[in-house]
Amino acid sequence: MTDERSTQVGSAERAHHAGDGEPTAPRQRRMSAQRKQEAVLRILRGEDLELVSRELGVTAAALSGWRDSFLAAGAASLKSRPEDDRDRELRAMREKIGEITMANELLEAKIERLEGGRPFRLRRSRR
């Protein structure tokens, strides 16, 4: 009796999860950004969220998250302003500071190697 009951419950659960006995596509572990974008665009064009999620084998929550991220990134890109001369100048200055800092660090390391770890030799006063 226990075997019959567990078999019946198991088949009912399988039928419930399989969507009325229809075979489902195997779930994929990761989706490319392109496939996620296509899925989000399908939802934004009016396709049913549940239908798209079943077809792709992802949860509706994941699809909703992708849609929200997609829309937030679009809104952020609309807020940005075009790069002007000041931005280019700042970027060039930061690059120059990086180059100078690197050269300075290399010189300090070379001095340390040549002087055996002491920045200056100790000298006695001539007086």
Whether 38 and 63 share a structural domain:
yes
R_g of the chain computed on alpha carbons: 32
pLDDT the model gives residue 77? 83
Whether 73 and 93 share a structural domain:
no
> HSE on the CB side for 50, CA within 13 Å?
1
pLDDT the model gives residue 76? 84
What is the domain extent for residue 74?
A: 31-80
pLDDT tens series, the chain, 127 aa: 444 444 444 444 444 444 454 555 555 568 899 999 999 999 999 999 999 999 999 999 999 999 999 999 988 888 877 788 898 999 999 999 999 999 999 999 988 888 876 656 666 777 6
pLDDT the model gives residue 117? 61
Whether 71 and 102 share a structural domain:
no
How far apart are alpha carbons 22 and 16 in whole angstroms? 10
pTM of full prediction above 0.75: no
